[in-house]
Structure 1
Amino acid sequence: MSNRFDFMIHATDGNARTGQIQMLRGATRTPAFMPVGTAATVKAMKPETVRKTGADIILGNTYHLMLRPGAERVARLGGLHKFMNWDRPILTDSGGYQVMSLSDLRKLTEQGVEFRSHIDGAKHMLTPERSMEIQRLLGSDIVMAFDECPRADQSREVIAASMEMSMRWARRSRDGFDTGGEHAERSALFGIQQGALDEELRKRSADALTDIGFDGYAIGGLAVGEGQEAMFATLDFAPGQLPADRPRYLMGVGKPDDLVGAVERGVDMFDCVLPSRSGRNGQAFTWNGPINLRNARFAEDQEPLDNRCACDTCATYSRAYIHHLVKSSEILGAILMTEHNIAFYQQLMQAMRDAIAAGQFAQFAQYFRQDYLRQ
């Protein structure tokens, strides 16, 4: 076993898989949910609290960190792990999603993307080579290839041209990563499949990525407004187009029932801002579905957020107290709600890992949906 990157599948049940990614900074159990630490912080959470929820790996963002505090500064301060006090694996998003979301502030060419900072309006150029350099300076363990993420409602011609350019950028990302010296020798590079909802375009993308060769493969261009039914229809074929012996990462997903449906279809890794963003806005995820703590019905409810949750928030605080904090816009409300939501997501991932290992994933998924979607 190499210390740099190994992926082991321990059990399968239908298309669902459970296993482990082993890297120098530790093991990541799969299926895995990565809390999002966009700007070197999972909002409202200390890193040690994130780890206590059961998270093995977190995500940082190339675009945001390159603008503030700056990749070179992070490198001078010892790298992202030391900077934010997280000693386990970090995956960094390449900035491609922000390229899509900044369509009014960007100029897209074959070379890369010229854009103005949303912070101060300063001009920047982000290319595959620069994205690799930034992620090297940050010291990330899993580096994402630079890509463009087109909207699913664009024409097939536009989506195809975008996918083909992303594959050329994937080749340049591979070349740029491989020149990264010591960082390249101890980290991993993932390619990103594109093609929107089109099966043939996704197959062409998967074949191009496989020819280049990556440590893992992401499914990009979903969860961008197409709806769960269309996303699942795409996941019925997209994971199977990617190498079976490598981890498959569905980017930017999602709601708890999205995760269950995607694992059912062969996905191994996820990230999403939803549990932390929802926590800051008064929504808690529970085994019986999401609840809004702003609702007056919780004002005198002395039950925990979720009787089946083992997190510190549920062990210590009542819905009534958290309702008061949320309604009063107290910072502690966001802290407690985010801790619960991140912990719930990690408990969900562990439950799925256990069900796959026991050969009972179909039963688990059925009972989960009955409870979670019954409202």
Structure 2
Amino acid sequence: MAALSFELETTSVGSRARAGKISTDHGEIHTPIFMPVGTVGTVKAVTQQQLKDDVEAQIILGNTYHLYLRPGTEVLEAAGGLHKFNGWDRPILTDSGGYQVFSLAANRKIKEEGVMFQSHIDGSRHLFSPESVMDIQRSIGADIIMAFDECPPYPSEYGYAKKSMELTHRWLDRCIQRLADTPDKYGYTQNLFPIVQGSTYKDLRKASCEYIASKQAVGNAIGGLSVGEPEEMMYEFTELCTENLPVDKPRYLMGVGTPWNILECIDRGIDMFDCVMPTRNGRNGMIFTTEGVINIKNKKWATDFSPIDPGLDNEISRFYTKAYLRHLFVADEILGMQLASLQNLSFYLWLVGEARQHILAGDFASWKTGMVDQVKRRC
């Protein structure tokens, strides 16, 4: 089977925003794209068919750390990989678990070999090395797999950030070698994306971009942003990275973010995004719509019988009313969380789809300015 390929269709006038097409063995992805997060093999409260029909997702994300702990690689291999296990027949990307090791796991010890950590589930001890993480991702069988990296906290002192970045680079070389030494398990190609690190230091970020670019991977990721730094700093370092990463490869900004974050980062040349925000915030009553942000628990929506979002052309957004959705949350009904998650994911996919159309039309820069104000509006 063929390795991932990327066709850059156009770059918008007056912007770094790009429209492209990623081809994988499980289908095409039109960029810019948002990837719903299915951490443990499921996007919370949403079925695979709803992801296709209502959300129109082109690719979803899974996580190595969580899938390794449960159901485990033996179960995934017996099923024939994650695609067969969860019934999703479109592309999948897996995060390497590096961020989870540093944010969730207890008593972690970082050394050259890898990271020793305790499971957040039962306290059992495990070692993640570049080699073992590649092996686990081979078992999961995602189309796009991430290199094992260390994600330093914000803020980090310069010396620590530099040491961490250099360790990430050495781990990348071991990831590449491990993949070269092991075959794909399921008859289709798995594609490695290296991850740029370097915290919020310009020289380190530039050096990391240059190192990652030298590996000539089929795509590249930017990590270590959206971890607590101010938004303007995130935008500054995103732009620095896109200026120093290859033009002809897709660029993935990990863990970002709000709708306005996504628009600003598309403007700076990012092609791929993921974030738990649409589903996590949705389950807590924050609804993203084409008219702005709604706290559906507010009493003002109790007798508002207008559709959740008349600007979206799908059954969920147009059929159910704001009053009914609020009632579900007040009554603590599971359906409320499901509808909110579907609305938010549909909105995110609509937003990147609209951005793509305006990039192709050549008026993205002017459209983005008004859209940022619109999606930030508090209803």
Amino acid at match of 1:148: E
Query: 1:15-74: CA deviations, max 9, x gaps?
Result: 110011001110011001000000000000001111221211000000000001102211
Amino acid at match of 1:363: S
Query: 1:246-299: CA deviations, max 9, x gaps?
Result: 000000001000000000000000000000111111111012321111100001
Q: Is the 8 A contact 1:219 1:239 kept in 2?
A: no
Q: CA separation in 1, counterparts of 2:341 and 2:94?
A: 21
**SS of match in other structure, 2:126:** strand
Q: CA separation in 2, counterparts of 1:178 and 1:143?
A: 14
Cα separation, partners in 2 of 1:185 and 1:323, compared to 1, 3 Å: closer
Of 57, 60, 78, the residue aligned with 2:59 is: 57
User: TM-score with structure 2 length normalisation?
Assistant: 0.96
Q: CA separation in 2, counterparts of 1:310 and 1:43?
A: 22
Q: Which residue of structure 2 lines up, in the alignment, with residue 132 of structure 1?
A: 134
1:92-131 alignment runs, 5 A limit:
92-102=94-104, 104-131=106-133
Q: CA separation in 2, counterparts of 1:124 and 1:371?
A: 46
Of 180, 186, 189, the residue aligned with 2:182 is: 180
Superposed displacement of residue 103, structure 1: 6.3
Q: Which residue of structure 1 lines up, in the alignment, with residue 10 of structure 2?
A: 11
Amino acid at match of 2:85: F
Are 1:310 and 2:309 counterparts? no
How many equivalent residue pairs? Answer: 374
**SS of match in other structure, 2:213:** helix
Q: Is the 8 A contact 2:93 2:142 kept in 1?
A: yes
Q: CA separation in 1, counterparts of 2:184 and 2:283?
A: 39
**SS of match in other structure, 2:289:** coil
Amino acid at match of 2:9: H
Q: Which moved more, 1:249-258 or 1:305-314?
A: 305-314
Q: CA separation in 2, counterparts of 1:121 and 1:43?
A: 24
Q: Is the 8 A contact 1:311 1:340 kept in 2?
A: no
Unaligned runs of 5+ in 1: none
Q: Which residue of structure 2 lines up, in the alignment, with residue 46 of structure 1?
A: 47
Q: Which residue of structure 2 lines up, in the alignment, with residue 258 of structure 1?
A: 261
Q: CA separation in 2, counterparts of 1:103 and 1:58?
A: 24
Query: 1:150-199: CA deviations, max 9, x gaps?
Result: 01211011001000000000111111122221349612110000011111
Q: Which residue of structure 1 lines up, in the alignment, with residue 197 of structure 2?
A: 194
Superposed displacement of residue 104, structure 1: 4.1
**SS of match in other structure, 2:292:** coil
Q: CA separation in 1, counterparts of 2:377 and 2:119?
A: 44
Q: CA separation in 1, counterparts of 2:188 and 2:148?
A: 19
Q: Which residue of structure 1 lines up, in the alignment, with residue 71 of structure 2?
A: 69
Q: CA separation in 2, counterparts of 1:344 and 1:180?
A: 40
Are 1:300 and 2:299 counterparts? no
Unaligned runs of 5+ in 2: none
Q: Is the 8 A contact 1:194 1:221 kept in 2?
A: yes
Of 282, 289, 292, the residue aligned with 1:289 is: 292
Q: Which moved more, 1:316-325 or 1:45-54?
A: 45-54
Q: CA separation in 2, counterparts of 1:241 and 1:340?
A: 36
Q: CA separation in 2, counterparts of 1:185 and 1:200?
A: 38
Q: Which residue of structure 1 lines up, in the alignment, with residue 351 of structure 2?
A: 348
Q: Is the 8 A contact 1:11 1:19 kept in 2?
A: yes
Amino acid at match of 2:82: L
The share of aligned pairs that are identical, in percent, is: 45
Q: CA separation in 2, counterparts of 1:369 and 1:91?
A: 28
User: TM-score with structure 1 length normalisation?
Assistant: 0.97
Q: CA separation in 1, counterparts of 2:317 and 2:261?
A: 24
Coordinate RMSD, CA, aligned: 1.3
Superposed displacement of residue 329, structure 1: 1.1
Q: CA separation in 1, counterparts of 2:27 and 2:2?
A: 9
Q: CA separation in 2, counterparts of 1:204 and 1:181?
A: 31
Amino acid at match of 1:210: A
Q: CA separation in 2, counterparts of 1:207 and 1:230?
A: 20
